[in-house]
């Protein structure tokens, strides 16, 4: 009889870790938050990073982490139902299996903002990857100057994370301004696009770092408004979204000029990507 020695299968960077869904919460009519139990494979993450989430039998998509980086026992992702995979994901229930790879990518450069004012500008679902940064900023509030969150949504019904927004405004030392693109009668808040909030927001432009996430057109208009206010281009950071597949810089799907968004981003200094963002094709 021949004995076969036990072998260890080396883990592949493309192999997802099977995890369990802990909870799925509806945020708005087309967005939801997925809380995942990482089991004994919790890896932590830095704000701005993303995971590849695999709905078995359907497909894999990159989703930014929207949770608190201090909570290592839970992976939280917020996304919008826009394709086959995210629609299937929205149907997952407690205990369902889901594959996780990551975290990947360069995070928000919070260390470069120490001692400075921080202007966080979010558009739509772009608040999700910025929420992680805000959790950390609030936890280290005394390390920063003025902290301002300018958040633009499509309509009042599309506003995400209302409890967080209220808490940050009320007790966390964050100035929160919310605006919507469209509203009817009863909405008491701002109406207008989010770049219009920049001119009068309470921060010192000469000493501020800006973090922007949202649709690319919104980010371009926002960056322009920040520069008109006096924020240096090299202190403006944007989070880009491209068709990420491998997430480790091998496949080239997310190539963006000389960079791979998955590996060199998703967070970039604006001066590095500004010209590329203006091109029709790259």
Partner 1 sequence: MESLEGILSGHAFFHDLPPRYLELVVGCASNVRFDGGDFLFRTGTEANHFFLIRHGRAALEIAAPGRPPLILETLGEGEVIGWSWLIPPYRWMFDARALEQTRAVALDGKCLRGKCEADHDLGYELFTRIAHVMERRLMAARLQLLDVYGTRP
Residues that bind partner 1 (CB under 8 A): 82, 123-125, 152-154, 158, 179, 181-193, 195-196, 199-200, 214-218, 221
* Residue 264 DSSP symbol: H
For partner 1, the closer of residues 199 and 281 by Cβ is 199
Least distance between partner 1 and beta carbon 189 (Å): 8
Q: How far is the CB of 228 from partner 1 (least distance, A)?
A: 10
Is cis: bond before 172, omega within 30 of 0? no
Least distance in Å: CB of 82 to partner 1? 6
Return the number of the residue (137 or 238) whose C-beta is nearest partner 1: 238
Q: How far apart are CA 128 and CA 106, in angstroms?
A: 16
CB of 78 to partner 1, least distance (A): 14
Q: Which of 149, 232, 247, 155 is nearest to 192 (CA)?
A: 155
Least spacing, CB of residue 215 vs partner 1, in Å: 4
The residue (of 142 and 200) whose beta carbon lies closer to partner 1 is 200
Q: Which is nearer to partner 1, 105 or 124 (CB)?
A: 124
- Structure-token match 């993450």, residue found: 45
CA dihedral defined by 60, 63, 67, 72, rounded to 10 degrees? Answer: 40
Which CB atom, from 54 or from 151, has the smaller least distance to partner 1? 151
Q: How far is the CB of 263 from partner 1 (least distance, A)?
A: 23
Compute the distance between CA of residue 90 and CA of residue 96 in angstroms, rounded to an integer: 11
Query: Is residue 175 packed enough to be buried (19+ CB in 10 Å), middle (13-18) or exposed (0-12)?
Result: middle
At 148, list the tokens. 């301002």
Backbone angles phi, psi at 44, to 5 degrees: 70, 175
Assign residue 275 a region (left: φ > 0; alpha: ψ between -120 and 50; beta: otherwise): alpha
Question: In the complex with partner 1, which residue's Cβ is closer, 125 or 211?
Answer: 125
């Amino acid at each position: 009889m021949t004995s076969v020695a036990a072998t260890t299968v080396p883990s592949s960077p493309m192999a997802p870790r099977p995890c369990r869904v802990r909870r799925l919460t509806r945020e708005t009519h087309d967005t939801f938050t997925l809380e995942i139990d990482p089991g004994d494979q919790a890896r932590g993450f830095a704000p701005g990073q993303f995971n590849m989430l695999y709905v078995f039998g359907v497909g894999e998509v990159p989703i930014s982490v929207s949770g608190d980086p201090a909570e290592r026992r839970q992976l939280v992702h917020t996304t919008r139902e826009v394709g086959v995979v995210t629609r299937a994901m929205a149907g997952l229930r407690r205990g369902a299996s889901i594959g996780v790879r990551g975290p990947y990518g360069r995070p928000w450069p919070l260390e470069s903002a120490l001692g400075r004012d921080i202007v966080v500008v979010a558009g739509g679902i772009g608040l999700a990857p910025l929420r992680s940064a805000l959790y950390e900023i609030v936890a280290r509030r005394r390390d920063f100057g003025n902290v301002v969150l300018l958040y633009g949504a499509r309509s009042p019904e599309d506003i995400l994370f209302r409890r967080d927004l209220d808490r940050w405004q009320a007790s966390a030392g964050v100035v929160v301004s919310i605006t919507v693109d469209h509203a009817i009668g009863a909405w008491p808040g701002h109406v207008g696009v989010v770049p219009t909030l920049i001119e009068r927001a309470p921060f010192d432009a000469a000493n501020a770092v800006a973090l922007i996430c949202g649709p690319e057109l919104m980010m371009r208009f926002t960056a322009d408004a920040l520069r008109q206010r006096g924020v240096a281009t090299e202190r403006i950071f944007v989070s880009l979204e491209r068709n990420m597949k491998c997430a480790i810089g091998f496949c080239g799907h997310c190539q963006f000029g000389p960079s791979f968004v998955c590996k060199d981003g998703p967070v970039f200094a604006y001066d590095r990507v500004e010209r590329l963002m203006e091109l029709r094709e790259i």
